């Protein structure tokens, strides 16, 4: 079987510009991945986990320090021109293009770098502008677009060249609910309706990964910690109990570390509203009473306590020992 993307012990180490400036950083550490054609594959990880580095290597913008990477069966180091014929890439928060050109002109310009005839390009652009609800902005200058509109245009730029494989690096980063929804729906439709079209999506939005992806790899510190379908990943924490606890500001969380039966926990403080939100992965439900006792003893009030269904975030907390920021 030919994989859309395949990596073997892929490693990337960034050296400091000057030796004085610090140590080298291992952004990817022996990553092995196989992504099937037609798959919508997610890479889930916090900032600095190595997601973007992986995408840069696969999109031929960066060389691996060691190991191998193949895209559409071609080596990204030696056959990069063949890889480039088959891919495109969109990054979240991208400000590419030229503000003085209109939306249509910008999209047309990028289509020309892929040798698409103007007539074909304009037809595709119009169809996609309609799908993304941007038709009325067709002749507006790019610099007048809102963040969401601009990101929709970026996503159109990536898909307008009809790639076999598209790399989406946090494509909904910082967008509102509606803009994110439109982009997500388009991605799902594109994979479902295309012939062996493959999407490699990085995100640190758990729900996005859960909703969109056929399979997900969880990455942290450059290592793949788990790779499976969202359902199977969630089964990894099925035997555990997930607990959410909201309290008034809990100053000293160290007391919780000593309680037996807690596998992992994370917290978020909201000083403005005097709130602390805690999430626990418990090996043993009997730990609940100890948690409640310790919270009360520390002087905080319990505002809400509920048991939850396992989510990808729980999987992540269990594997990495921390949540996402």
Partner 1 sequence: MSETWLMKNLRAVKGRAYPRVVGGNREPSWVFFEIALPILTVAAYAYIYKFMSARPEFVGYVILGGAMTAFWLNILWSMASQFYWEKETGNLQLYLIAPISRMAILAGMAVGGLFMTSTRALATIIIGVFVFSVSFTLSDPLLMVLVFVVTMIALYGMGMMFASLYMLLGREAYHLSNLMTEPIYLASGFYFPVKYLGFWAAAGASFIPITLGLDALRQLFFPTGSQDAFLSVWTEVGILSALCVLFLILSRLSLDYMEWLGKSTGRLTLRWQ
Quick check: 116 binds partner 1 (CB under 8 A)? Answer: yes
CB 38 within 8 A of CB 197: yes
Q: Which residue has the tokens 């990054």?
A: 91
Distances (CA, A) of 185 to 82, 189, 193, 318: 29, 6, 12, 30
Residues 28-67 that bind partner 1 (CB under 8 A): 48, 52-53, 56, 59-63
Quick check: 122 binds partner 1 (CB under 8 A)? Answer: no
Residue with Cβ nearer partner 1 (7 or 53): 53
Least gap, CB of 49 to partner 1 (angstroms)? 11
How many Å apart are CA 262 and CA 289, to the nearest integer? 12
Residue with Cβ nearer partner 1 (114 or 324): 114
Residue with Cβ nearer partner 1 (84 or 253): 84
Indicate which single residue of 36, 68, 84, 184 sits in contact with partner 1 (rule: CB under 8 A): 84
Indicate which single residue of 7, 70, 88, 149 sits in contact with partner 1 (rule: CB under 8 A): 88
Quick check: 14 binds partner 1 (CB under 8 A)? Answer: yes
| Residue of 66, 39, 160 lying closest to 110 (CA atoms) | 160
Indicate which single residue of 18, 81, 177, 258 sits in contact with partner 1 (rule: CB under 8 A): 81
Quick check: 112 binds partner 1 (CB under 8 A)? Answer: yes
> Distance from CA of residue 109 to its chain's centroid?
28
Least gap, CB of 324 to partner 1 (angstroms)? 17
Quick check: 95 binds partner 1 (CB under 8 A)? Answer: yes
The region of 105-113, 223-231, 254-262, 266-274 touching partner 1 under the rule CB under 8 A is: 105-113
Quick check: 175 binds partner 1 (CB under 8 A)? Answer: no
Least gap, CB of 176 to partner 1 (angstroms)? 21
- DSSP labels for 79-138? SHHHHHHHEEEEETT---S-TTSBHHHHHHHHHHTTT--HHHHHHHHHHHHHHTT-GGGT
- Contacts (Cβ under 8 Å, ≥6 apart) of 160: 107, 110, 111, 116, 121, 124, 125, 128
Q: What are the structure tokens assigned to 275, written together?
A: 């709130």
The H or E element that residue 166 is part of is strand 165-169
* Residues at the site binding partner 1, with contacts judged by CB under 8 A: 14-15, 48, 52-53, 56, 59-63, 81, 84-85, 87-89, 91, 93-98, 100-101, 105, 108-117, 141, 157, 169
């Amino acid at each position: 079987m030919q994989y859309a993307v395949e990596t073997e012990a892929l490693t990337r180490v960034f050296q400091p510009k000057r030796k004085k400036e610090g140590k080298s950083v291992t952004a990817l550490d022996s990553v092995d991945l196989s992504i099937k054609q037609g798959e919508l594959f997610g890479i889930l990880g916090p900032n600095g986990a190595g997601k973007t580095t992986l995408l840069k290597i696969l999109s031929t913008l960066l060389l691996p320090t060691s190991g191998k990477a193949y895209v559409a069966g071609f080596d990204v180091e030696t056959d990069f021109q063949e890889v480039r014929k088959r891919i495109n890439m969109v990054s979240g928060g991208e400000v590419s293009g030229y503000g003085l050109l209109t939306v249509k002109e910008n999209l047309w310009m990028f289509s020309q770098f892929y040798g698409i005839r103007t007539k074909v390009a304009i037809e595709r652009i119009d169809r996609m502008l309609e799908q993304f609800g941007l038709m009325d902005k067709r002749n507006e200058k790019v610099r007048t677009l809102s963040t969401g509109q601009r990101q929709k245009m970026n996503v159109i730029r990536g898909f307008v060249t009809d790639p076999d494989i598209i790399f989406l690096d946090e494509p909904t980063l910082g967008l509102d609910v509606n803009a994110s929804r439109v982009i997500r729906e388009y991605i799902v439709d594109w994979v479902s309706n295309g012939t062996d079209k493959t999407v490699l999506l990085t995100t640190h939005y758990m729900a996005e990964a859960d909703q969109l992806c056929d399979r997900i790899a969880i990455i942290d510190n450059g290592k793949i910690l788990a790779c499976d379908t969202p359902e199977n990943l969630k089964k990894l924490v099925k035997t555990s109990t997930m607990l959410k606890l909201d309290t008034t500001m809990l100053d000293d969380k160290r007391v919780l570390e000593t309680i037996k039966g807690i596998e992992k926990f994370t917290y978020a403080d909201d000083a403005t509203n005097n709130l602390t939100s805690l999430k626990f992965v418990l090996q043993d439900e009997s730990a609940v009473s100890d948690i409640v006792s310790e919270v009360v003893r520390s002087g905080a009030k319990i505002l809400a306590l509920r048991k939850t269904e396992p989510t990808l975030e729980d999987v992540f907390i269990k594997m990495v020992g921390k949540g996402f920021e």
